[in-house]
């Protein structure tokens, strides 16, 4: 069976987006979120996203175990260190870009803004320490980690299992074959879900816009413009240039290949929920060999978040400006690194970046309540930063393929 072109065409997905856009605004302006119509849309959107999420844990586990079990361990080390270098450097680059443009446009100076009430978890939350982050990498109980869907813990557990199977050599053939078949099964399910993509994106967008509406947008227009401008620059210039230079793939081919994944990211606002789609487009459309994609896509979806880093840097400085607090150069460097850390630590789920922003604000003594200033438009911005997050993962896979070559 031909592997390429098995998706529903991008045109259908775009049509779904259009329907979602119009439908969402109409819902918001007419019947509102209390209506039975909105309830039906929200239910449909939930069903779709649950279908995607349902398959993530088996997909991540099987894909990482299979990659770690089948690769030469020295090669795995090279792949790991290259991927890590790419993730870290592009994330720092994105946060730096955010800082540059927020300093250029000063969107928060003189802004008069209403403050929304903070969700309880943010208002009372203590940000995790670095030691907590490290400790949480290793699950004390892997079944518990699987049940909670804790991606970082699932990744480290799967890598350890994969390497152990690898070192066992031929005596682990049965388990390895089992894992490969689980992976194949997960991919078959993903293929079914993908057929529903146009309907899924329409419902998701209707649900988000039906609730958010456009009223909150105006006072925050300049802030949104800076975040979106920064994301556009990173997503349309920086990342494609890197993919071209280091990955040898021209931008038009790259974007044509990843369109489905980017649109799924836009509408789900979740790198994790988009993961199955990213995996398929990277393997089938961008022709990245599975031994790279199986390793880099699950890890990238969890830790590599350029869009989130950029957004956190802009948001922190915007809050400082709105409060009339001037951050020194040294403090801005602290923002650069904590925004990177906060992006790595954010889960691939909607609004995760908003929660980890506490780390950035506390590092430079900014008031946590400042998050209330930007809450109203976070859901919309989340859509776009997630799109850049997913683009970065796909770009990384292409670059790894080019540098490491085919096995």
Contact positions toward ligand ASP, by CB under 6 A?
269-271, 305, 308, 346, 348-353, 382, 385-386, 389
In angstroms, the CA 155 to CA 275 distance is 14
CB of 60 or CB of 305, closer to ligand ASP: 305
In angstroms, the CA 262 to CA 232 distance is 13
Shortest Å distance, C-beta 176 to ligand ASP: 31
Shortest Å distance, C-beta 349 to ligand ASP: 6
In angstroms, the CA 131 to CA 231 distance is 31
Secondary structure of the chain: what % helix, strand, coil (to 5)?
80, 0, 20
Shortest Å distance, C-beta 351 to ligand ASP: 5
String of b and e for 252-282 (b: at least 16 CB within 10 Å)? eebbebbbbbbbbbbbbbbbbbbbbbbbbbb
Shortest Å distance, C-beta 296 to ligand ASP: 16
Q: How far is CA 201 from CA 163, 166, 193, 209, 352, in A?
A: 38, 40, 12, 12, 20
Tell the burial category of 182 from Cβ atoms under 10 Å away from its Cβ (0-12, 13-18, 19+).
Answer: middle
Shortest Å distance, C-beta 94 to ligand ASP: 12
Shortest Å distance, C-beta 375 to ligand ASP: 13
CB of 160 or CB of 193, closer to ligand ASP: 193
CB of 285 or CB of 382, closer to ligand ASP: 382
CB of 17 or CB of 69, closer to ligand ASP: 17
**Pair 200, 16: CB distance under 8 Å:** yes
Shortest Å distance, C-beta 34 to ligand ASP: 26
Q: Which tokens belong to 94?
A: 């994105």
Residue nearest to ligand ASP (CB): 353
**Pair 339, 313: CB distance under 8 Å:** yes
CB of 65 or CB of 341, closer to ligand ASP: 341
**Pair 29, 213: CB distance under 8 Å:** yes
CB of 260 or CB of 389, closer to ligand ASP: 389
CB of 276 or CB of 290, closer to ligand ASP: 276
């Amino acid at each position: 069976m031909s592997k390429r072109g098995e998706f529903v065409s991008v045109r259908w997905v775009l049509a779904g987006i259009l329907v979602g856009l119009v439908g969402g605004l109409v819902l918001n302006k007419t019947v509102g979120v209390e209506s039975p119509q909105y309830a039906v849309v929200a239910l449909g959107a939930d069903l779709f996203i649950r279908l995607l999420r349902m398959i993530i844990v088996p997909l991540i586990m099987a894909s990482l175990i299979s990659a770690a079990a089948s690769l030469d361990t020295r090669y795995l080390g090279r792949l790991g260190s290259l991927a890590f270098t790419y993730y870290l450097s592009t994330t720092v680059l994105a946060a730096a870009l955010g800082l540059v443009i927020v300093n250029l446009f000063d969107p928060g100076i003189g802004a008069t803004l209403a403050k929304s009430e903070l969700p309880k978890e943010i208002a009372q939350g203590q940000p995790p320490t670095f030691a907590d982050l490290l400790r949480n990498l290793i699950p004390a109980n892997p079944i518990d980690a699987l049940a909670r869907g804790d991606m970082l813990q699932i990744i480290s557990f799967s890598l350890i299992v994969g390497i152990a199977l690898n070192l066992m050599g031929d005596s682990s053939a049965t388990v390895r074959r089992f894992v490969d078949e689980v992976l194949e099964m997960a991919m078959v399910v993903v293929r079914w879900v993908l057929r529903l993509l146009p309907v899924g994106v329409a419902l998701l967008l209707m649900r988000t816009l039906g609730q958010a509406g456009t009223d909150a947008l105006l006072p925050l227009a300049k802030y949104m413009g800076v975040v979106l401008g920064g994301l556009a620059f990173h997503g349309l210039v920086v990342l494609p240039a890197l993919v071209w230079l280091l990955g040898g793939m021209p931008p038009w081919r790259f974007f044509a290949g990843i369109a489905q994944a980017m649109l799924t990211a836009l509408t789900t606002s979740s790198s994790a929920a988009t993961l199955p789609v990213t995996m398929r487009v990277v393997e089938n459309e961008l022709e990245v060999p599975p031994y790279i994609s199986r390793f880099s896509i699950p890890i990238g979806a969890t830790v590599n978040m350029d869009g989130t880093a950029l957004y956190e840097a802009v948001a922190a400085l915007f809050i400082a400006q709105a409060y009339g607090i001037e951050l020194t150069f040294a403090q801005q460097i602290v923002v650069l690194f904590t925004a990177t850390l906060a992006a790595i630590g954010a889960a691939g789920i909607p609004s995760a970046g908003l929660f980890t922003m506490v780390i950035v604000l506390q590092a430079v003594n900014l008031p946590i309540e400042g998050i209330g200033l930007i809450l109203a438009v976070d859901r919309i911005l989340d859509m776009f930063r997630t799109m850049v997050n997913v683009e970065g993962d796909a770009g990384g896979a292409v670059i790894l393929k080019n540098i490491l070559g085919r096995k």
